[in-house]
């Protein structure tokens, strides 16, 4: 568990007045509490989405409907299409009990590693209309 993101070493030139939070990631993925709790507990390594992403690297996790709370971070390392016929085979990675719960025509797994939950969540300003990514 990370207690303070400011304790991580920074590349040269990233010092200054910016907060430690912004140094480790500039975007946060908005995730519903039910799924975010599983991700932060290390039980869910695949976040299921209906579109692919080319983003890679550290991202923060923002809890959906929580009024601007960043609860942790992780490294987005891959994005892979998941055929519906093999969806349940990967249950231990995505934790979705039934394919019927997934309303996407095409299913993608956003693969996370090195997930860390913050000891104390950070507040951020959630811009209206941000539903997948939010700038922090």
The more confidently predicted of residues 2 and 25 is 25
pLDDT, tens digit, 9 for 90 and up, residues 23-33: 567 899 999 99
Segment 101-127 mean pLDDT: 94
pLDDT at 23 (0 to 100):
55
Look up the pTM and report it.
0.81
In the chain, % helix, strand, coil (3-state, to 5) comes to: 20, 35, 45
- What's the CA gap between 124 and 95, in Å, rounded? 28
């Amino acid at each position: 568990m990370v207690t303070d993101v400011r304790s991580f070493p920074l590349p040269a030139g990233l010092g200054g007045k910016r907060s430690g939070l912004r140094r480790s990631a500039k975007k946060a993925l908005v995730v519903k509490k039910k799924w975010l709790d599983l991700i932060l507990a290390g039980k869910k390594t695949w976040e299921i989405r209906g579109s692919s992403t080319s983003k890679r690297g550290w991202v923060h996790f923002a809890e959906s409907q929580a009024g601007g709370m960043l609860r942790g971070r992780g490294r987005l390392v891959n994005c892979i299409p998941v055929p519906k016929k093999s969806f349940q085979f990967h249950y231990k990675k995505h934790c979705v009990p039934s394919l019927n719960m997934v309303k996407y025509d095409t299913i993608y797994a956003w693969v996370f590693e090195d997930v860390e939950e913050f000891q104390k969540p950070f507040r951020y300003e959630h811009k209206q209309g941000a539903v997948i990514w939010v700038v922090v």
